[in-house]
Structure 1
Amino acid sequence: MSSTTPAESAHSEKPIAAELDLSSVEWRRTSFTGGNNNCAEFGRAGEFIVWRDSKRPTQEPLVYTKAEVAALIDGARAGELDYLLA
């Protein structure tokens, strides 16, 4: 179940990556990548979550709220995204 904090619901607009300080983002990827550098990397930039392609680390990442990522994870756990891999 996803939940939104008051701070998140107060944000009607997300910033673009260029508006965030990405210099201290600790980029991580899942252990399921197999070490082939063919995956997405995720990090936190303040209250936002940033997502980039590991093969293009200099390309501007996508920006998501915690609520958006929670909804994605909840949907994946529920099997709602299984069709993408069929």
Structure 2
Amino acid sequence: MQYPAYNGVPATDIPDVSWQKSHRSNSQGNCVELAKLPDGSVAVRNSRHPTGPALVYTRAEMEALIQGAKAGDFDSLLV
């Protein structure tokens, strides 16, 4: 199944996936959850709103984000 890569896909429209969150997530519900989709793309949702919306990104987009985060490209957003 091909998932549209745009904002606001209801998470309930993405069946049979395993959502996971970082071990660094806290108990106050400030968590982002990700799920690998059958076509290789990745869905992202807010754990406080498990029914959606979910954002769907291609594998290449997620690789760019993760590599950028590891390199510190977004550190200025946290100051």
What band does the TM-score fall into relative to the shorter chain?
0.7 to 0.9
Q: 1:79 aligns with which of 58, 64, 72?
A: 72
Greater gyration radius? 1
Quote the sequence identity (%).
Answer: 38
Distance of 1:24 and 1:57 partners within structure 2: 14
Q: CA deviation at 1:27?
A: 0.4
For structure 2, the residue ranges without an aligned partner over 5 or more in a row are none
Distance of 1:59 and 1:34 partners within structure 2: 20
Distance of 2:16 and 2:64 partners within structure 1: 25
The amino acid of 2:61's aligned partner reads E
TM-score, normalised via structure 2 length: 0.79
Distance of 1:63 and 1:85 partners within structure 2: 24
Instruction: Report whether the alignment pairs 1:57 with 2:46.
Output: no
2:4 corresponding residue in structure 1:
15
Q: CA deviation at 1:83?
A: 0.6
Q: Determine helix, strand or coil for the equivalent of 1:50.
A: strand
Q: RMSD of the alignment, in Å?
A: 1.6
2:24 corresponding residue in structure 1:
32
> What is the number of equivalent residue pairs in this alignment?
71
Residues 14-33 of structure 1 show CA distances to partners (whole Å, capped at 9, x for unaligned) of: 61536xx6211100000111
Q: CA deviation at 1:48?
A: 1.2
Greater share of helix: 1
Distance of 2:37 and 2:14 partners within structure 1: 6
Distance of 1:58 and 1:29 partners within structure 2: 15
